[in-house]
Amino acid sequence: MDLGLAGKVAIVTGSSDGIGYAVARLLAREGARLVMCARRETLLAEASENIVKETGADVLAVRCDVQRLDEVRNLVKETVQRFGAIHVLVNNAGSVPSAKFADVDDAQWYQMLEGKLLGYLRMTREVVPHMLKGGWGRVVNVAGTAGREPSNTAIAVGLNNAAVINWTKSLSREYSADGILVTTVAPGSIETPRQVRNRQREANITGKNFDELRNARVRYSDATAGATRGSRQRRGISRLRVFELHDGSLCDGGWRRDAGDLMSLPGIVEFSRLQAK
């Protein structure tokens, strides 16, 4: 598949494993010059080496905590020094734990916003000037279905995701005339190791069985898919996101989303599916 991404410089945050790794891998296979970042340096090095061995892509791996402005600026600096430009940013880094409202104090609320929303803002603010300079850019913000479907055990998760969705729309309106398209992707439950840990935390908080919670997500995802996609579930999460990076819209079977829109991808998807060739 040729999506016109050959030679483009793409940063994928949180790309040492999970969804971020799957996206990075597919971008590399499309010929993008890839920048991978994550906090866990050893895992990041292993992930980048695997992608280089498989695809032969030009990959730069930089340890970066998007909660730290100095590390974000260093990531952008190293990217520009190595490749001379930035065309694509996939904001994927960040995780917010499940918690009940009464158990979260002010300091924890601030930390939870740092865990996702503020990291996305920080990365985008540092990258956009380089996209403006080149007159072309694609920003994809990974949110989750909790941004639209509130949960009493995932209040902070939903707050972050809802804010990301709203901010994405605003950003798309501000920069579309400059050739920069911004989109939110909201996957359903993806069974990455992190998602499994999140479900376990939810089980601990609610006292419910882990499998019971997982099955409830399956039922919700199936219902959402039927209501919003004519019962056609979208499963190739990372490949669909590459479509978004290509031209700012998803064109698949006559279904089109304009930049700034929320693209919801319901359905339980096992991590092994994301890495299938």
Look at 4 and 171; give whichever has higher pLDDT: 171
Distances from the Cα of 109 to the Cαs of 105, 117, 122, in angstroms? 6, 12, 18
Q: What is the pLDDT of residue 4?
A: 87
Q: Is the pLDDT of residue 277 over 60?
A: no
pLDDT at 230: 34
Burial of 233 (0-12, 13-18, 19+ CB in 10 A): middle
What number of H helices and E strands is found in the chain? Answer: 10, 9
**Mean pLDDT value of segment 109-120:** 91
Average pLDDT rounded to a whole number, residues 188-194: 62
User: Residue 148: pLDDT band by 50, 70, 90 thresholds?
Assistant: confident
Residue 271's pLDDT is 33
Kindly state whether residue 2 falls inside one of the protein's structural domains.
no
The pLDDT value recorded for residue 166 is 93
Assess if residue 265 is contained within a domain.
Answer: yes
Domain boundaries, position 127: 9-274
The answer as to whether 1 is a domain residue is no
Residue 97: what pLDDT?
75
Q: Tell me, yes or no, whether 4 lies in a domain.
A: no
How is residue 98 written in tokens? 């499940």
- 3-class DSSP state of 67: coil
pLDDT surpassing 60 at residue 252: no
* Residue 231, pLDDT score: 29
> Quick check: is 118 in a domain?
yes
* Dist CA 45 CA 40 (whole Å): 9
Q: Token pair for residue 97?
A: 């734990």
Question: Collapsing DSSP states into helix, strand and coil, what is residue 232?
Answer: coil
Tally of domains within the chain: 1
pLDDT on residue 118: 95
pLDDT tens digits, one per residue of 58-104 = 999 999 999 999 999 999 999 999 999 999 999 999 877 777 788 88
Give the tens place of pLDDT for each residue, 206-238. 777 767 766 666 555 554 444 433 323 333 444
Residues sharing a CB contact under 8 Å with residue 249, sequence separation 6 or more, in sequence order:
243, 256, 257, 258, 259
pLDDT greater than 70 at residue 160: yes
Asked whether residue 246 is assigned to any structural domain, the reply reads: yes
Does the structure show a pLDDT above 80 at 140? yes
Angle 5-166-184 from CA coordinates, rounded to 5°: 25
- What single-letter amino acid sits at 148? R
What does the block give as tokens for 223? 């219902």
What CATH number did the domain enclosing 253 receive?
Answer: 3.40.50.720
Q: What is the structure's pLDDT at 234? A: 36
Average pLDDT over residues 27-44: 96
pLDDT band at 239; cut points 50, 70, 90: very low
- Is 145 among the domain residues? yes
Which residue would you say has higher pLDDT here, 180 or 200? 180
Confidence check: pLDDT of 55 > 90: yes
Taking the whole predicted model, whether its pTM rises above 0.95 is answered as no
- Long-range contacts: 70-76, Cβ < 8 Å, 24+? 72/122, 72/123, 72/126, 73/126, 75/11, 75/35, 75/37, 76/126, 76/127, 76/130
